[in-house]
Structure 1
Amino acid sequence: MTHNTVDPAAVTPEMAVQIRTWRCDEDYSWRAVAQAASDLWGSEWGSNQLFGEDLCVAAAKLLGEDPYREPWN
């Protein structure tokens, strides 16, 4: 489910790879993904869980993966 906190067109392939690394390789929660992204790319969302989920959904879709299946969840 998308919460409209992320414009998918604003997520670059490089950003998607970084988001995937945080979520899938480093086991970040959605909150942790949101905070890491906010710290790295500058966002007022901070550790907002909905923002983190939306980032993961946008990144997974850009990479041709299902954000609600392994390795994303």
Structure 2
Amino acid sequence: MAHNTVDPATITPEMAAQIRAWRCDEDYSWRAVAQAATDLWGSDWGSNQLYGEDLCRAAAKLLGENVDREPWN
């Protein structure tokens, strides 16, 4: 379920790869993804879990993957 915290059009392939690395390779929680993205790219969302989930959904979609399946979840 999208929460409308992320415009998927703003996610670049490089950003998607970084988000995937945080979530899939480094086992970041959605909150941790949100905080890492905020720290790296700036946002007003901080460690908001819904923001992290939306980032992961947008990144997975751009990469042709399903955020509800491995390795995302």
Structure 2 unaligned residues grouped into runs of 5+: none
Distance in 1 (alpha carbons) for counterparts of 2:64 and 2:39: 26
Amino acid at match of 2:16: A
2:63 aligned residue: 63
Shift of 1:29: 0.0
Which residue identity lines up with residue 23 of structure 2 in the other structure? R
Q: Could you state the TM-score of these two structures normalised by the residue count of structure 2?
A: 1.00
1:17-73: CA deviations, max 9, x gaps? 000000000000000000000000000100000000000000000000001000000
Q: Which residue of 2 aligns with 1:21?
A: 21
Q: Corresponding residue for 2:48?
A: 48
RMSD: 0.2
| Moved beyond 3 Å, runs of 4+ | none
Q: TM-score, normalised by structure 1?
A: 1.00
Q: Runs of 5+ in structure 1 lacking a partner?
A: none
CA distance in 2, matches of 1:26, 1:65: 18
> Could you tell me how far apart the structure 2 residues matched to 1:8 and 1:68 are?
17
* Inter-partner Cα distance in structure 1 for 2:60 and 2:26: 15
Cα distance in 2 for residues equivalent to 1:68 and 1:8: 17
What percent of counterpart residues are identical?
84
